[in-house]
């Protein structure tokens, strides 16, 4: 049974596309057991008794309670430790390899902070909300700004070395974007994404509600520049004349679509 139907028109677009951007969100990671942060059953709801999320996930809150924040993320990492990439993640890695083998340019932009796309083998990757597996020094004036190091996985005894920057003794913070912060070029690859939009001829949204500002900007840019848009999601979020929408579980539709695309390129 065919899961995705590709029209003749879309087949042409997929054959000729030279520069392809994939934009993914929480819907891609749900099958790996990573709950979404927002919404019912999401991480923020689960913890809502303890914290109001828009207050907790802020630099302001971290400044006053660095230990509470670091411990929360450590606990989150521990729960995520043995998660593995889903079919959807793996198909993104397959797609990248296929596109590159046909000399097409590709960039995967993700809102997910779980690091599962790089675990799956995606190389051309911009994690625009950061990655929970890494920390950086919280000192805004530090000269070593930009240095991102792995989060030490020591849950039982948290030593001072794990909590503070070895260069200036400021607290270490997760390398993730918080509610009161702007996209920072140095940490979130925004310049890479911006540069890639020049010459873009196909954009594919996967499992994202496009509720955060940057993916929304990418959608707006695509609409204005008449770039072909594909959407894989359980519910359609996008309306556009140049849209091709594939509704359903992205862990089923996306792998099937990647197989079809690779057959089209072989022709």
Using the rule CB under 5 A, is 171 a contact of Zn ion? no
Using the rule CB under 5 A, is 165 a contact of Zn ion? yes
Using the rule CB under 5 A, is 170 a contact of Zn ion? yes
The answer to whether the beta carbons of residues 34 and 115 sit under 8 Å apart is no
Using the rule CB under 5 A, is 43 a contact of Zn ion? no
Query: Residue 147 or 263: which CB sits closer to Zn ion?
Result: 147
Long-range CB pairs of 180-183, under 8 A, 24+ apart, other chains included = 180/58, 180/59, 180/60, 181/58, 181/59, 183/128, 183/214
Q: Which of residues 45-104 bind Zn ion (CB under 5 A)?
A: none
Catalytic site residue from 65, 108, 129, 225: 129
How many CA atoms lie within 13 Å of 79's alpha carbon, on the beta-carbon side? 13
Binding characters for Zn ion, 101-140, by CB under 5 A (x = yes): ------------------------------------x-x-
Query: Residue 170 or 259: which CB sits closer to Zn ion?
Result: 170
Taking CB under 5 A as the binding criterion, the range among 159-167, 171-179, 197-205, 255-263 that sits at the site for Zn ion is 159-167
Taking CB under 5 A as the binding criterion, the range among 34-42, 142-150, 203-211, 222-230 that sits at the site for Zn ion is 142-150
Query: Residue 4 or 138: which CB sits closer to Zn ion?
Result: 138
Binding-site member from 35, 142, 171, 248 for Zn ion (CB under 5 A): 142
The least distance separating Zn ion from the CB of residue 189, rounded to whole angstroms, comes to 21
3-state SS track over 98-150: HHHHCCCEEEEEECCCCCHHHHHCCCCEEECCEEEEEEEECCCCCCCCCCEEE
- In sequence order, which residues have a C-beta less than 8 Å from that of residue 203 and are 6 or more positions away? 20, 21, 22, 23, 218, 219, 222, 227, 228, 229, 230
- In sequence order, which residues have a C-beta less than 8 Å from that of residue 233 and are 6 or more positions away? 27, 205, 206, 207, 208, 209, 245, 246, 247, 250
Query: Residue 130 or 255: which CB sits closer to Zn ion?
Result: 130
The least distance separating Zn ion from the CB of residue 56, rounded to whole angstroms, comes to 23
CA 203 to CA 243: how far, in whole Å? Answer: 10
The least distance separating Zn ion from the CB of residue 146, rounded to whole angstroms, comes to 11
Using the rule CB under 5 A, is 162 a contact of Zn ion? no
Does the active-site annotation cover 65? Answer: no
CA 97 to CA 245: how far, in whole Å? Answer: 23
Q: Which residues are catalytic?
A: 129
Q: Which stretches of the chain bind Zn ion, using CB under 5 A? A: 137, 139, 142, 165, 167-168, 170
């Amino acid at each position: 049974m065919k899961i995705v139907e590709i029209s003749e028109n879309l087949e042409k677009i997929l054959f000729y596309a030279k520069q392809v951007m994939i934009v993914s969100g929480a819907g891609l990671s749900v099958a790996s057991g990573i709950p979404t942060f927002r919404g019912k059953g999401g991480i923020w709801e689960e913890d809502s008794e303890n914290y109001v999320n828009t207050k907790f996930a802020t630099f302001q809150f971290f400044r006053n309670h660095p230990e509470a924040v670091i411990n929360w993320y450590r606990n989150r990492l521990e729960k995520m430790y043995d998660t593995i990439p889903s079919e959807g993640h793996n198909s993104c890695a397959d797609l990248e390899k296929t596109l590159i083998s046909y000399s097409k340019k590709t960039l995967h932009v993700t809102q997910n902070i779980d690091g599962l796309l790089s675990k799956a083998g995606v190389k051309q990757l911009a994690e625009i909300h950061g990655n929970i597996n890494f920390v950086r020094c919280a000192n805004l004036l530090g000269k070593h700004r930009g240095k991102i190091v792995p989060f030490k996985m020591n849950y039982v005894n948290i030593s001072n070395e794990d909590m503070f920057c070895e260069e200036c003794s400021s607290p270490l913070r997760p390398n993730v974007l918080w509610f009161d912060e702007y996209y920072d070029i140095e940490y979130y690859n925004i310049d890479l994404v911006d540069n890639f939009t020049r010459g873009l001829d196909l954009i594919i949204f996967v499992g994202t509600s496009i509720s955060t500002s940057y993916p929304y900007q990418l959608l707006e840019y695509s609409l204005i520049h008449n770039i072909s848009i594909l959407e894989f999601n359980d519910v359609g979020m996008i309306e556009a004349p140049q849209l091709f929408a594939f509704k359903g579980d992205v862990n089923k539709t996306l792998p099937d679509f990647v197989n079809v695309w690779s057959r089209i390129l072989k022709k």
